[in-house]
């Protein structure tokens, strides 16, 4: 069977479908190349001295792992000189990173969580890189890029994707024309299309949530999960299975593969925060991918992609995955309001 490479896929998206511009194609290729480089570091583990903490704190007040910093640097260094970007923003950096003057500036903005699921690094479980691409707003061409340019709702994303560093290294991508998966052929160093037109089943019997936070949840989440746990004798009339990898990339990847619902809701531990996950680096790109695969994503009240961000590192409550389950859990929230 003839295999299609990432390059060929992108050229076709550009040429036949008109979904992407040459600049966006370059951008995606550069991100994909960075992910290959990160995958090499990840796979070396202790041999590459990449495990453990860097003993520094990021802007979120979280301890950084060595790989958080390595992955962040790889993405910045690879993307700053190509002429496709105006600026970047990362979960690991306080402010935006404007492309230095010595390089040409492009029209796109790149946002990323360089290494998601950091708590899994040292235990050799799946982790990933999540990215989102926005366009510099119309009318701002020629003007200096500013943080405000990034504060666009997720519907404005020109592309979104993630790379999962698991038993296989895979790149999952949407340019707004469905979801495609590429597997890294390590011998050839090539991304090869292995799944296209992904569709998440609307119904599922699998949920993903960190159950240890149960006592802190709001009533709508308590109700939704209690009904799942009640199984065949409860109101749902069926048994549910539970999975929680504590790596959003790995949990979303499972949901794309066989369905399911993922929840990281607001809870009472830090009531002033809307949730744990970040809107612009995690929730928006994942929501675009999930919607493009016929799933749904809300914060319990509204579609995540419609949220207008107030600031770069904004947090959000997340319910995403199989459409009917997301709708049910969302209804429980709106009913309770």
Q: CA triplet 84, 89, 92: central angle to 5 degrees?
A: 135
Site membership for ligand AHM, residue 299 (CB under 6 A): no
Task: For the segment 196-225, give every residue that binds ligand AHM (CB under 6 A).
Answer: 210
Site membership for Mg ion, residue 291 (CB under 5 A): no
Q: Which stretch binds ligand AHM (CB under 6 A): 30-38, 157-165, 221-229, 244-252?
A: 244-252
Q: Name all contacts of 149-153 with Cβ < 8 Å and 24+ positions apart.
A: 149/86, 149/87, 149/109, 150/87, 150/89, 150/96, 150/109, 150/111, 150/280, 150/309, 150/312, 151/308, 151/309, 151/310, 151/311, 151/312, 152/308, 152/309, 153/305, 153/306, 153/307, 153/308, 153/309
Judged by CB, which is closer to ligand AHM: 111, or 248? Answer: 248
Integer Cα distance of 205 and 207 in angstroms: 7
Task: For the segment 117-136, give every residue that binds ligand AHM (CB under 6 A).
Answer: 117-119
Task: For the segment 249-278, give every residue that binds ligand AHM (CB under 6 A).
Answer: 264, 276
**Would you state the structure tokens that stand for residue 238, as one six-digit string?**
């069926």
Site membership for ligand AHM, residue 285 (CB under 6 A): no
Q: Which stretch binds ligand AHM (CB under 6 A): 112-120, 136-144, 198-206, 214-222?
A: 112-120
**Would you state the structure tokens that stand for residue 236, as one six-digit string?**
């749902």
247 binds, among ligand AHM, Mg ion, none (CB under 5 to 8 A by kind): ligand AHM
Letters for 69-108 (x = contact with ligand AHM by CB under 6 A, - = none) are ----------------------x-----------------
**Would you state the structure tokens that stand for residue 278, as one six-digit string?**
């970040």
Judged by CB, which is closer to Mg ion: 113, or 206? Answer: 113
Site membership for ligand AHM, residue 314 (CB under 6 A): no
Site membership for ligand AHM, residue 62 (CB under 6 A): yes
Q: Which stretch binds ligand AHM (CB under 6 A): 40-48, 155-163, 246-254, 325-333?
A: 246-254
**210 neighbors 198 (Cβ within 8 angstroms):** no
119 binds, among Mg ion, ligand AHM, none (CB under 5 to 8 A by kind): ligand AHM
Min. distance of Cβ 287 from ligand AHM in angstroms? 14
Integer Cα distance of 45 and 5 in angstroms: 28
Min. distance of Cβ 286 from ligand AHM in angstroms? 10
**Residue selected from 80, 92, 107, 116 as contacting Mg ion according to rule CB under 5 A:** 116
**Would you state the structure tokens that stand for residue 336, as one six-digit string?**
């309770």
State the number of binding residues for ligand AHM (CB under 6 A): 13
Which residue has tokens 């050839």? Answer: 188
**307 neighbors 299 (Cβ within 8 angstroms):** yes
Integer Cα distance of 171 and 209 in angstroms: 24
Residues at the contact surface with ligand AHM, assessed by CB under 6 A:
62, 91, 113, 116-119, 210, 246-248, 264, 276
């Amino acid at each position: 069977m003839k295999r299609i490479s990432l390059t060929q896929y992108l050229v076709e998206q550009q040429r036949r479908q008109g979904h992407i511009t040459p600049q966006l194609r370059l951008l995606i290729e550069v991100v994909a190349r960075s992910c290959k480089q990160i995958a090499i570091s990840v796979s070396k583990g202790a041999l590459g001295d990449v495990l453990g903490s860097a003993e520094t704190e990021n802007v979120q007040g979280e301890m950084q792992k060595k790989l958080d910093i390595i992955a962040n640097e790889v993405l910045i260094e690879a993307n700053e000189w190509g002429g496709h970007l105006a600026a970047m923003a990362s979960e690991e950096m306080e402010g935006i990173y404007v492309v230095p003057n010595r390089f040409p500036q492009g029209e796109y903005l790149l946002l990323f969580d360089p290494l998601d699921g950091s708590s899994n690094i040292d235990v050799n479980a799946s982790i990933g890189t999540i990215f989102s691409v926005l366009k510099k707003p119309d009318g701002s061409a020629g003007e200096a890029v500013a943080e405000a340019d990034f504060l666009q709702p997720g519907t404005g994303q020109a592309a979104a994707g993630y790379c999962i560093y698991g038993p296989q290294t895979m790149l999952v991508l949407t340019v707004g024309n469905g979801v495609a998966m590429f597997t890294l052929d390590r011998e050839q160093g090539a991304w090869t299309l292995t799944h296209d037109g992904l569709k998440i089943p609307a119904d599922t019997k699998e949920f993903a949530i960190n159950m240890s936070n149960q006592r802190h949840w709001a009533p709508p989440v308590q109700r939704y999960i209690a009904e799942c746990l009640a199984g065949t004798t409860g109101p749902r009339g069926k048994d549910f299975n539970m999975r929680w990898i504590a790596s959003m990339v790995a949990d979303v990847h499972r949901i794309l593969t066989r369905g399911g619902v993922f929840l990281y809701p607001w809870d009472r531990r830090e009531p002033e925060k809307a949730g744990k996950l970040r809107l612009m680096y995690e929730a928006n790109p994942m929501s675009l991918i999930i919607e493009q695969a016929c799933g749904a994503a809300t914060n319990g009240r509204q579609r995540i992609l419609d949220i207008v961000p107030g600031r770069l590192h904004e947090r959000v409550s997340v319910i995403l995955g199989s459409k009917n389950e997301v709708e049910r859990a969302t209804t429980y929230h709106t009913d309770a309001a």
